[in-house]
Structures are given as C-alpha cells and as structure tokens.
Amino acid sequence: MHLHHVGHAVEDLEEAKARYALLGFRVRAEGEVESQGVRVAMLEPPGGGALLELLEPTGPETPVGRFLARRGPGLHHLAFAVPDLEAKLAELRAEGLPLVDEAPRMGFGGHLVAFVHPRAFHGVLVELVEE
C-alpha cells in the first residue's frame, strides 16, 4: 500500500491549477465525476511521487460543495492504493471500522474506489484506490 494522492477541495479549479503550476505541478488528467458532482484535475508533482487531486464542486448540494460550505478550501482526503479493494474493505469491516462505501464504485480515471468514514482515521476521510 502507498499514498496514491491527496484530495484538495477548491472553489476555483483553474485558479488552483495555476497556483500549483508555480510549484512545478503539471496536469496529468482532468474531467468530471458526474455521480459525485465534482470537477477534477489530477496533478503530478515535479520529480514524481503521490499525486494531488484538485476537487471543485459542480454545485453546493454535492459532497464537495457541502464540505466547502462547512470547512472551506483545504485537505479533503488521503487516498491509498491497494491491490484488492474488496479484500481491504472486508478487512476493515471485520475490524468494525465505519465505511462510507460498502462496495467499490467507479472513481476518477476509471479506478475502483471506496471511502472510509473520517471517524475511522481520527477525522481524516480515507479513500482506497484499486490500481
């Protein structure tokens, strides 16, 4: 398992991309996850390493829109790559950890993903990504 990406909720995707470009980040992929009401830009850091996922809501009623209304821009989640998402979810469920997603679903870039409730990891929303 390794850190796949860090999710950062932003109010203006274009402005955020330009700001991170000043640090040498480049856009690896962009798109929209309609089911979650979010526009996404996946940024690659100079020299490689974990990606940065910028998340702009398509409306205030979306999960990221509600997050921004409550907390403002900032860290949204940490995402870890796992080889077998269903097995990891079963392991976490057996340990009694609260899950947001009981089963994998399609995430940005065609990856299967599932979220673990922030209560499970001391206030941090965790995303699991099957690579």
Burial of residue 63, with CB atoms counted within 10 A of its CB: 0-12 exposed, 13-18 middle, 19 or more buried: middle
> pTM (2 decimals)?
0.93
Give the domain CATH number at 14: 3.10.180.10
At 47, give phi and psi (nearest 5°).
Answer: 85, 0
* Amino acid 51: pLDDT: 97
* Amino acid 131: pLDDT: 83
Q: What is the pLDDT of residues 40-81, one digit of tens each?
A: 999 999 999 999 999 999 999 999 999 999 999 999 999 999
Q: Mention every residue, 6+ apart, whose C-beta is less than 8 A from residue 10.
A: 16, 54, 55, 56, 73
Domain that holds residue 22: 2-130
Q: How many domains does the chain have?
A: 1
Q: What is the pLDDT of residues 8-41, one digit of tens each?
A: 999 999 999 999 999 999 999 999 999 999 999 9
What is the average per-residue pLDDT within 3-9? 98
DSSP state of 62: S
